[in-house]
Amino acid sequence: MKLLGVFLLFFSLSTQAQERFKVLDKEFQALAKKYGVQTKDLGIYATVGEGHDMQVLLDVNGNKVMIPASITKIATASAVLSQFPPGYKFKTQLLSEASVKNEVLKGNLYLKGGGDPSFVSENLWFLVNAFTRNKIKKIEGDIVVDDSLFDKVRYDMSRQKERVDRAYDAPVGAMSFNWNSVNIFVRPNGVGNGAEVFIDPENEYIRLNNKAKTVSGSGNGLLADRQEDTKFVGDVIHVGGSIGQGLKEVVVFKNITQPDLWAGYNLKAFLAQRGIQLTGSIKNGVTPEKAEVLAESESKAIEQVVADMNKFSNNYVAEMLTKNLGLAKKPKGASLSDGVQVINEHMQSLGVPADQYRLESPSGLTRENKMSSFAMWKVLQHLRNDFRVQPEFLTSLPIAGVDGTLKKRMKNSSAERWVRAKTGFLTNVVSLAGYAGVEDGHVITFSFVYNGSTDETKIRAFFDNLLIYLVK
């Protein structure tokens, strides 16, 4: 087994360069021993420089196909930036085919989703403000939510089979709102009294069942869960347990179950805040072809959406973007599998060896994805060399010791701010892939994957210290 790129380099390397590789080999072996890492469980590929001056620094089972976890999102990001160039924006619209008489819309108002993963309260407020310029004070009809751009499958089938109410397991839909999650703020209210619970944003879709108590001290014994309401449309938030009087506030995030109706009820609430009355109900449906646009909201640029995905490894955003990719295969009712097909075709176009990857999930939240470190390195090298997307992709990655999933890693070390990389984690899987800068101007492109039973904290420390040494 080849451990280091020194075995792959031409004999023309200078004696000084060969000595550097020997020192690197020694450091690698020392770190592996220190953290109890067996090389058979590793897949590592790292290079420095570019073009004819590029050198392989590390090649430890670089061609071995392994479970990559969330560094899969690098491949997803690459395909997305290829399909939707920097600056691209998604659109969310309010439309109607009804007439307006005496400030009354005589018919339905359609909320048409454009597949925007970043459509949040600020965007909805902008959309409603734009709608008010139509001078409509009353809607004599229904709010019809149109999310027909995507199919009705809300979850990636490669996710875990059991649904949970945590925000990371949020469903997806062409018309989604606030990451399809609700914010629950809990505050103490005097020892012996019930705690104060605030739902944000407030709307009729969410019903609150508050049994939380305020106790002495500063402990957090709160219990919160979300259940789909079987009696009417919407979800019920149950909050129980206790919050200490010494705490200022605790926030909990829970997903919702029906993205389209969730968005519709929030639209109704936002319209009411602007004094616009709705006489009908919230439904889902399809916008008539003759409907006219009454208001429109654009998303932030695609590169910022990609950053939302990569900085915090957001699975919801990954799946939303992948369904948008699927529109190239199916312009209406796109599925996740349509989008995954586009990602795989993109991998083929980059010349990634077909036997070194298999992608079934765009987020990496599965053990079915397989990829070698060299295959991931190929994607990273493409993104590094394509100036049209390189700056945007680089900006999307977490920065060591600064933000995202690397905020607490490599802090106060020589690698702080010098490493930008995507993290990955599943049980017995730890991965890290991206770029490391060196003060002399060179850049290291690296892909580290571990599949084994050693404690993940030791593997992260091994990866981090290896990068710290390389940056030096």
Residues 283 and 311 in one domain: no
Give the rounded distance of the alpha carbon of 103 from its chain centre. 41
Select from 300, 326, 346 the last residue of a domain: 300
Residue 188: what are its φ and ψ, rounded to 5°?
Answer: -70, 155
Residues 289 and 308 in one domain: no
| Strand order, beta sheet including 143-146 | 282-284, 143-146, 109-112, 91-96, 292-298
Bridge partner list, 429: 426, 451
Residues 93 and 46 in one domain: no
Residues 256 and 152 in one domain: yes
Residues 343 and 454 in one domain: yes
Residues 211 and 263 in one domain: yes
pLDDT for 59: 96
Alpha-carbon gap, residue 160 to 139, rounded angstroms: 42
Residue that is written with structure tokens 């599998």 in the block? 337
Residues 98 and 177 in one domain: yes
Select from 252, 269, 300 the last residue of a domain: 300
DSSP codes joined into one string, 367-419: SS-EE-HHHHHHHHHHHHH-TTTHHHHHHHS-BTTTSGGGTTSSTTSTTTTTE
Alpha-carbon gap, residue 94 to 106, rounded angstroms: 15
Does residue 141 contact residue 106 with C-beta atoms inside 8 Å?
Answer: yes
Residue that is written with structure tokens 């968005």 in the block? 263
Q: What CATH number is attached to the domain comprising 328?
A: 3.40.710.10
Give the residue among 472, 452, 372 at the shortest CA–CA distance from 32. Answer: 452
Residue span of the structural domain in which 385 resides: 5-86+303-471
H-helix or E-strand spanning residue 126: helix 121-132
What pTM value is reported for the model? 0.93
Residues 279 and 325 in one domain: no
Bridge partner list, 96: 292
Residues 77 and 159 in one domain: no
Alpha-carbon gap, residue 460 to 449, rounded angstroms: 10
Residues 118 and 247 in one domain: yes
**Which tokens hold the place of 131?**
């709608």
pLDDT in tens, the chain (472 residues): 445 444 444 444 456 666 777 889 899 999 999 999 999 999 999 999 888 889 999 999 999 999 999 999 999 999 999 999 999 999 999 999 999 999 999 999 999 999 999 999 999 999 999 999 999 999 999 999 999 999 999 988 877 777 788 888 899 999 999 999 999 999 999 999 999 999 999 999 999 999 999 999 999 999 999 998 877 789 999 999 999 999 999 999 999 999 999 999 999 999 999 999 999 999 999 999 999 999 999 999 999 999 999 999 999 999 999 999 999 999 999 999 999 999 999 999 999 999 999 999 999 999 999 999 999 999 999 999 999 999 999 999 999 999 999 999 999 999 999 999 999 999 999 999 999 999 999 999 999 999 999 999 999 999 999 999 999 8
Residues 135 and 215 in one domain: yes
Examine residue 391 and say whether the peptide bond preceding it is cis (omega within 30 degrees of 0). no
pLDDT for 1: 45
Does residue 70 contact residue 93 with C-beta atoms inside 8 Å?
Answer: no
Does residue 449 contact residue 43 with C-beta atoms inside 8 Å?
Answer: yes
Select from 261, 281, 300 the last residue of a domain: 300
Residues 261 and 347 in one domain: no
In the chain, the number of structural domains is 2
Bridge partner list, 283: 144
Helix and strand numbers (H, E) in the chain are 10, 23
**DSSP for residue 99:** -
Residue that is written with structure tokens 């969310």 in the block? 92
Alpha-carbon gap, residue 167 to 257, rounded angstroms: 11
pLDDT for 15: 63
DSSP codes joined into one string, 277-288: EE-S-EEE----
Q: What CATH number is attached to the domain comprising 156?
A: 3.50.80.20
| β-bridge pairing 181-187 and 213-215 | unpaired
pLDDT for 6: 42
| β-bridge pairing 429-437 and 443-451 | antiparallel
Residue 208: what are its φ and ψ, rounded to 5°?
Answer: -105, 130
**DSSP for residue 7:** G
Alpha-carbon gap, residue 48 to 56, rounded angstroms: 7
DSSP codes joined into one string, 216-273: SSS-EEEEEEEEE-SSSSSEEEEEEEEEETT---EEEEEE-S-HHHHHHHHHHHHHHH
